[in-house]
Each structure stands twice: as structure tokens, then as C-alpha cells.
Amino acid sequence: MYVSKAAPKTQVECDYDGPAMKTQVPGPRSQELTKQLGEIQNVGAVNFFCNYNESRGNYLVDVDGNRMLDLYTQISSIPLGYNHPALIKLMAHPDNLSTIVNRPALGILPPGNFPEKLMESLLSVAPSGMTRVQTMACGSCSNENAYKAMFIWYRNKERGHNTPSAEDLSSCMVNQGPGCPDLSILSFMGGFHGRTLGCLATTHSKAIHKVDVPSLDWPIAPFPKLKYPLEEFARENAQEEARCLEEAEDQIVKWRHKGKPVAGIVIEPIQAEGGDNHASPEFFKSLRNIARKHGCAFHVDEVQTGGGCTGKFWAHEHWGMDDPGDIVSFSKKLLTGGFYHKNELQPYRIFNTWMGDPSKNLFLTEVLNVIRTENLLEEVTRSGKALLNGLYELQTQYPGILSRARGQGTFCAIDVCDDATRTSIILKARNKGVVLGGCGDRSIRFRPALVFKEYHVHLFLNIFNDVLAQHK
Amino acid sequence: MYVSKAAPKTQVECDYDGPAMKTQVPGPRSQELTKQLGEIQNVGAVNFFCNYNESRGNYLVDVDGNRMLDLYTQISSIPLGYNHPALIKLMAHPDNLSTIVNRPALGILPPGNFPEKLMESLLSVAPSGMTRVQTMACGSCSNENAYKAMFIWYRNKERGHNTPSAEDLSSCMVNQGPGCPDLSILSFMGGFHGRTLGCLATTHSKAIHKVDVPSLDWPIAPFPKLKYPLEEFARENAQEEARCLEEAEDQIVKWRHKGKPVAGIVIEPIQAEGGDNHASPEFFKSLRNIARKHGCAFHVDEVQTGGGCTGKFWAHEHWGMDDPGDIVSFSKKLLTGGFYHKNELQPYRIFNTWMGDPSKNLFLTEVLNVIRTENLLEEVTRSGKALLNGLYELQTQYPGILSRARGQGTFCAIDVCDDATRTSIILKARNKGVVLGGCGDRSIRFRPALVFKEYHVHLFLNIFNDVLAQHK
């Protein structure tokens, strides 16, 4: 039986010692609250209710007093764990009160410190080749507006950078061409880019996200289905990637002939919601070249991969490219939504009331400071190695249950033999004090905070091993 | 020459005495910051930079030390003015720190006080006939998801409330029918419902919002073009409304025959962005009946009209209906986005990472307390009457410049002879210490906070009169 090597406990400021369970989860108080909330809204997806006051570091505390090691972190959106002292301290500063209390319409009346705060926060981690950024309120709005920026850019090119014609302006008012052009975005099977109508037309991870909602006739290419560990299947994987690239290029040509040219390609560096599907740097480099060759913008969606969890701040940095994309969108761990873009993609005419929320930029500045001063990217790389090695060992020990362990940094996943077993494992782990989430058809995804240390990895692996032993 | 009657100064907690100007606006510091921000993002729409720390009540202070009476309030999104003491106090409470610092994934792991906070805030002002609410991060996401709820509801009806078929599930993955059905939303010319792709297909206020972005072939009906004051043109206006209703019904029939049935109708109680266009309660009652007759859901978009500025909490309350709609969406002054819905429109499958932001619900609870304890809806009605009467007087005095004064509560507007004159008036007013905004082709819209008293109305009218006198 696997027993994980114990790592020395690394101090995380304001963390607990380990999980501590008082009831099954959801406990009686959570069940009562679920019933109450059910009177007001749909609770089909609610897991349990949380006590965020008592949660600390890597530990999520629920309303029944259960304390769980959190490897899901609010669908990968908590960068430094719960109640990080640096963020609590930031709220005490009187200057910050007014930023939180008075939410401005950023596009017309930004606060005086807005350029400085953008420089300190988002611009300080700008992807290679990008010096401009537009904030937005959430991930879906970020992608929706990024698509619009690509459409506008493409049409500007088409009309030789002249202003829209009178016919453009009149026809668009009634949703017709040429003002509303038949342009498309190329996306990939298994991709997830959000659930508003534009985003949803590029999302292909689960039918339940899409069914009953009208969509757009846009091209969809296959995403490589690779074998793991990647290094052991290099030749086969390269063939699979070549097949997908060829298909992507075919789709671009086909849709141009259909009269619905591809204005942009959108892709995740690792397909997350769709099942943690990886592809090689060579794949992304080739795809970037295909985009260039056909005059399409290249949009890298880092909503889930961005923020340091892969061991680099952006997952696309693993590609080693100076010019990774024309647009990089973000949200979740960045606390604010938004997108970086090349100069050529001026998001002129990208506008809404709030255009983000400067109070989130304030917190992001502090999060980035902590990432730097505590060398959290190195820590993530170290914890991620321990986690992936542990998963490799466990899949060797439980070959009937686990397979395809994979990951970059702590952004790891493993496949379970079937969906029912996956659900059972996730629920049993929760009752033993570990919060996990699923993705794809039968994967478990690991999305701990950046303060998840080797110590926590081994704590988790031991509990996970206990759960698996029960399933053997 | 018009000289407004002086009203006794009504105390607004933490307000200033009046405007105080030091420079032209934008002043040198704003211009410098605009240049700086221009290096990072598009600044085409930036008016000036603000000092939110120094802003108080109805007064917005800029970075050059100019203090302006604000009748635009961040595009109508600041309910109680700037730095309201009740909101500042709320931030000092230690329990609230963790709500602001730890943003949960509300759909899966809500905080323990979430049902209670929803009851205290959103449910305490639920529209008639609605007991359920879903929060969202912004106005566009609210409408996008409301549309999805209507599509899902409509398809559920069509298939007799059975689960989607295997063909539904497979076809939707590639954006095709029957899984992605050819359903539509009926909207109105001049309407504004947001700028993401789904919302934008129902937005028809300005070409510049829509041009270059692909759209959907959805029906659009004319919105009544009424004559003001409404009571003087009752017969003509009723005819115009009848024409529009007939056209709306025709469109519903036509799109059904085209194979793109109308799942829902979306409409604003007062078209705001499109030029402050009003319609009578009878118009909305008849439209609601048309929706019922044709099996379409009825979505009232209160993103701009909601929150008390019409003198009632929701503008649709002026219709006097027990059953005003199936969905009511909101954002802006409500601080959080979201939508109320009838039980039948279960927003099952409506999901994203954040699903709103409970820290905004916290502030909303306090905003609603202040509205109640300070009787702000009555105050708005009183201030609104003074404002509209003042506008009537001014349009009599300046018939070559002003016309069509109209409004409900302080949600007022007036037309200017042409767009250039409008711009000039807005800029001159700003330099005299009054912030105004435009809407439609040549209207000025007034959107003060709920703490805008009669005293402020007369202060404004006197300054506005000075500006108009210069244009005469």
C-alpha cells in the first residue's frame, strides 16, 4: 500500500494543521440552508455551505464546522487561499475604502490611481508582446469582448481601415449584413470559453451547457487526444497533433468558402472543463502560424490556466514564444476579468457600464506582491512535481481505477475508470476532508491555491490513497 | 430670464454645499492621466479622472480639485451618492471583511448567510409575482442568462417537459439543431440590452454598438415614438402605440412561419440609452397579453430603470399590474447584476464560476435600508416633480434649443435642437460644475442619485439656465 513520503511542514501564513471532520458533508446545517436557498433559487449544483470567516489558507470550513483541505478552490479562482493576511490588511487601509464603496464607470470616469494600479497589477504580468489590457467583470464578458475586438479588427482590415459605410451602419441596426458580417470564430471540441451566447458558440465540453440555446454556424476543429505521460508517446502524439492541425486549417478554408470567414481562433493552453487535455508547444506554435497564414487573430483563453497554477504565470509561457497570441483573456485567479491585446487590435467600441471593478485590481496588486515575495511560482512547480509523482504512483497501485495522470505545476488531473466511480471517490474524499472537482467525462482535476505546499500534497495523497483502497 | 425658486437646503449626510471649479474639465492632471492610460488602453470615452476619496453625496470631485454636482452618477449606477456613511460603516464590520476578501463560487459553495442576505436584499424588493432570483456579475450577463432561461423554458414546453433527446444532445455539441434550436427573442428599435453577442442581437440604439459584430436573424418591432407631455397627446400616442403593438404581433407570427419562433420578448419600461422613450401602462399591458397569447416569455429589462429613480423601486410598478412579467433583470444601482423569474422559468443549467458577488449583496442590503429609513422613493418623486417642472419652464423659455421634456421620478430627459448643441451644452455645464450625460440622437438624460433633493434640483436648474442663456 502506498504511503506518501511525509514532507516537512512548510509554513503557510494562517493555515490549519490538517482537515478536521465533524459530520458527513453536506452536514445538517448545510442541508437546512440548501432547503432555504431552494425556495429562492435553483440549488441543483450546491455542494455545501461555507463559513468563509473561519476558512484559512488551504482549508475551507463549512457551516457544520468541517474543515477541508481545498484542492478545488472555488473552481480554481482563489489565488492565495482563504483570508490571506495581506488581503485582510489591505482592506484596513482607509484609502481603499472608497475604491470598494464607489464603483466607477471605468470607461468614462476612472479613478486617479487607475493607470498606476493597472501598471502595478495587470501590466506587471503582461504576456510577451502585449502592452495593452482591458478589464471586464467576468470571464464570459472577457471572451465575448475579445471576440468583438477580433471581429472589428478583421472588418477594419477588410475595408482597408476605412470607417464603416452608410450601408454598414444602417444594416447593422436590424442585425443584417454587411453591417453585421457573417464572420466566425474557430474553436475546438472539448473547449470551454463561457456560457453567454457568443462564448457558448465556441464551447464544446458538455451538451448540458449548450442544449436548447440557439447558436452560430461556426467551425469546430478536433483538439488532440494525447496519450500520457506525454514523453512516452511522443511519436503517436505528434501524429495526432498533426491530424488536428490539418483539420483546423481545412475548417478555416471551408468556412471562407462558405462565406463565413474565420476572424479569430480561440483555444485554451490546457482544455480544463473539457477534461484537462494537453497539447505540445509545437502544436500551439503551428496553430499560431496557421492563424497568421490565413489572417485570423489568435486568442489564448487563460481564464482557468492563468495566474500561476502551471508554475508559470501564464500557461502559454511554457510554449517559449515571443509572440504567443494577439489576445490573452483572463479571470478567476486574476480576480478581475479582462484581456490583453496587441496594439493592432484596438478595442475601440468595446464598452459597458462598469468595464471591470477597480476594487478587484487593488486585491490583484497585493496577490502579485505575495506571489513575488514568497516565490510562489517556484513553490507551485515543486508542489506540482510532488503531486504528479504521487499520482503516477497511485495509478500504478490502482490500475483498475486510475489512469492518465497528467499535469503542469499543480494544474493536474487523473482519469477514473467511470463516472460513477469518480463521483463516489470525490464524495468519499470530501467526507475525509478533501475537496476535489471533476472535469471532462471521468477526470478529477486538481486546482489548489498557489500556497499549496509539498506538505499539503502528501497530506492529500495519503487521504486519497485511503479512499482508493476502499474502492479497490 | 428663468430664475429657479430656491428650495430650503435639505440635509444630505456628507454632501458638499455646491459645485466649486478650479480648472476647465478635463484639467491638466486629468489630461496627463488620460495620456498615461492611453498607453495601456483605449481612452476614447474617458471624460476625466476622479478623486473618489474626496467625492461626497451628490458631488463628484475630479483629480484637479473640481467639485461637480453629478446628474449622471456613473451611467446611473450609484444609488446613494458617493461615500455614503452607511456603506463606509458597513466595511468596518469585521464579519464583512471575509465576504469581500473571499469571493466564492456561489453556485456550488455559497456562504452560510447567503439565503438570509438574499432575503434581506433582493427578495425584499422582488417584483410582484416573483419569488426567485439569480445573481450575476453584470447587466450583460444578467440579460444573456435571462435569454437562456427563456430558451430552455420554451424548449421544455415544446417537448412536453421531457428531457432532451439523444439527437438534441449530440447536435448541440456542434452548434446545430435540433439541440441548438432556431429560436429568437423579439426586441424593439431603440432598445438597449447590453453588448455581448446575445444581448447585442436585441440592442438597437446606436449603429456604433453593433457594426462589425455578427448577429442573429431575430425580429425587431418599432417602439412607440410618443409626443410629450404625454397627457396632452393621449389620442395620438394611443394610435402610435396600437401601431407598434400590431407590428410586434405581426413579427411574432412572421418569425414563427420562418421557423424561428419567438421564445421571449425583451423590453425596457423606459428606453434609456435609446433616448428616454416612454410608453403607457396600457402599451405594456397589451404587450404582456400578446406574449401570453403567443406563448412567449415576457422579460422586463430594468437594468437602468430599476432601483428607485422613477419614484418606485421598479419602473414597471407604474403599470399597476399584479403579473408584470416572467423575468425582470437588473444591475447598476442594484450593485449586483441578476434577474428575478417566475417559478416556471427554472434557471436550471444557468451557471458560471462566480454567479454574482456576495460582497455586492452586502452593500445592497444597506442601500435598501437607507432607501427605507430615509423615504428616498418619496424624495425622488418630489425632486423629480421639481426637476420636470423646471425643464418644462426652460423649454418654454428656450424653444429654439429645448423640447420634449419628459420623465418619471428623477429619471428625466430633454431634447436639444441638434447633436452639436447638445455636446456644447454638456461641456459648458461641466465647466460650470454639473455632470450630465446624453442618450439617443440628441437628448440629455438626467440620472442623479436617490439622495438628489429639491435643493439640488434648483441648484442644477440655475446653472443649466446660465448655460442655455449663453446659447440663446
- The answer to pTM > 0.90 is yes
What are the C-alpha distances in Å from B389 to residues A432, B3, B229, B385, B408? Answer: 68, 13, 11, 6, 12
> Which of residues A440 and B4 earns the better pLDDT score?
A440
> What b/e sequence results for B254-271 when a residue is b if at least 16 CB atoms lie within 10 Å of its CB, and e otherwise?
ebbeeebbbbbbbbbbbb
pLDDT at B348: 79
Residue % of chain B over a pLDDT of 70: 97
Catalytic-residue membership of B360: no
pLDDT at B410: 98
* Lookup: cell for A191: 473547449
Facing B50 at nearest CB: one of A111, A214, A363: A111
A58-117 pLDDT, tens digit per residue, is 999 999 999 999 999 999 999 999 999 999 999 878 888 888 999 999 999 999 999 999
Q: How confident is residue A11, by pLDDT bands cut at 50, 70 and 90?
A: low
Residue B395: Cβ within 10 Å count: 18
Name the average pLDDT for chain A.
96
pLDDT at B422 over 90: yes
What are the C-alpha distances in Å from A274 to residues A433, B252, B254, B302? Answer: 26, 38, 39, 35
What is the ipTM metric for this complex? 0.96
Instruction: For residues A231-246, give the mean pLDDT.
Output: 97
Residue B369: Cβ within 10 Å count: 15
Kindly report the nearest CA distance between residue A64 and chain B, in angstroms: 10
Residue A111 forms contact with B (CB below 8 Å) = yes
Residue B448 forms contact with A (CB below 8 Å) = no
B327-340 pLDDT, tens digit per residue, is 999 999 999 999 99
pLDDT at B346 over 70: yes
* B411-416 sheet: strands from edge to edge: B402-408, B411-416, B443-446, B437-439
A159-204 pLDDT, tens digit per residue, is 998 899 999 999 999 999 999 999 999 999 999 999 999 999 999 9
Residue A129 forms contact with B (CB below 8 Å) = no
pLDDT at B94: 80
> Which of residues A11 and A376 earns the better pLDDT score?
A376
What are the residues whose beta carbons fall under 8 Å from the beta carbon of B382, sequence distance 6 or more? B454
pLDDT at B347: 75
Highest mean pLDDT among A125-129, A344-348, B96-100: A125-129
pLDDT at A10 over 90: no
The whole-angstrom separation of Cα B410 and Cα B462 is 17
- Nearest Cα residue in chain B from A165: B211
Q: Is A220 left (phi over 0), alpha (psi -120 to 50) or beta?
A: beta
pLDDT at A1: 47
A387-435 pLDDT, tens digit per residue, is 999 999 999 999 999 999 999 999 999 999 999 999 999 999 999 999 9
pLDDT at A143 over 70: yes
pLDDT at B18 over 90: yes
Selected residue of B13, B52, B150, B185 to mutate for chain A interface (largest A Cβ count, 10 A): B52
- Contact list, A449 vs chain B (CB under 8 Å): none
pLDDT at B330: 98
Residue A402 forms contact with B (CB below 8 Å) = no
**Sole residue written with cell 406574449:** B291
pLDDT at A4: 58
**Sole residue written with cell 496557421:** A290
- For chain A, the first-to-last Cα distance in angstroms comes to 11
Q: Which residues pair with B60 in a beta bridge?
A: B68
CB-based contact A45:B108 (threshold 8 Å) = yes
pLDDT at A109: 97
pLDDT at B3 over 60: no
DSSP string, A225-262: ---SSGGGGHHHHHHHHHHHHHHHHHHHHHHHHTT--E
CB-based contact A258:A251 (threshold 8 Å) = no
What are the residues whose beta carbons fall under 8 Å from the beta carbon of B408, sequence distance 6 or more? B270, B278, B310, B311, B315, B318, B384
- Nearest Cα residue in chain A from B219: A174
Instruction: For residues B452-470, give the mean pLDDT.
Output: 97
The one catalytic residue among B151, B192, B339, B411: B192
Contact B179 A331 (CB under 8 A): no
The whole-angstrom separation of Cα B100 and Cα B352 is 19
H-assigned helices in B233-316: 234-257, 281-293
The one catalytic residue among B15, B62, B64, B301: B301
Contact B347 A42 (CB under 8 A): yes
For residue B330, what is the DSSP state? Answer: E
pLDDT at A14: 85
CB-based contact A347:A149 (threshold 8 Å) = yes
B149-180 pLDDT, tens digit per residue, is 999 999 999 999 889 999 999 999 999 999 99
B265-309 pLDDT, tens digit per residue, is 999 999 999 999 999 999 999 999 999 999 999 999 999 999 999
Sign of torsion, CA A75 A80 A82 A83? negative
What are the C-alpha distances in Å from B430 to residues A263, B67, B405? Answer: 41, 10, 20
A108-125 pLDDT, tens digit per residue, is 999 999 999 999 999 999
- Contact list, B78 vs chain A (CB under 8 Å): 102-103
A359-381 pLDDT, tens digit per residue, is 999 999 999 999 999 999 999 99
Q: How confident is residue B238, by pLDDT bands cut at 50, 70 and 90?
A: very high
> Which of residues A266 and B13 earns the better pLDDT score?
A266
pLDDT at B97: 87
Element (H, E) at A53: none
Ordered by where they begin, the domains of chain B are 28-86+374-469 (3.90.1150.10), 138-356 (3.40.640.10)
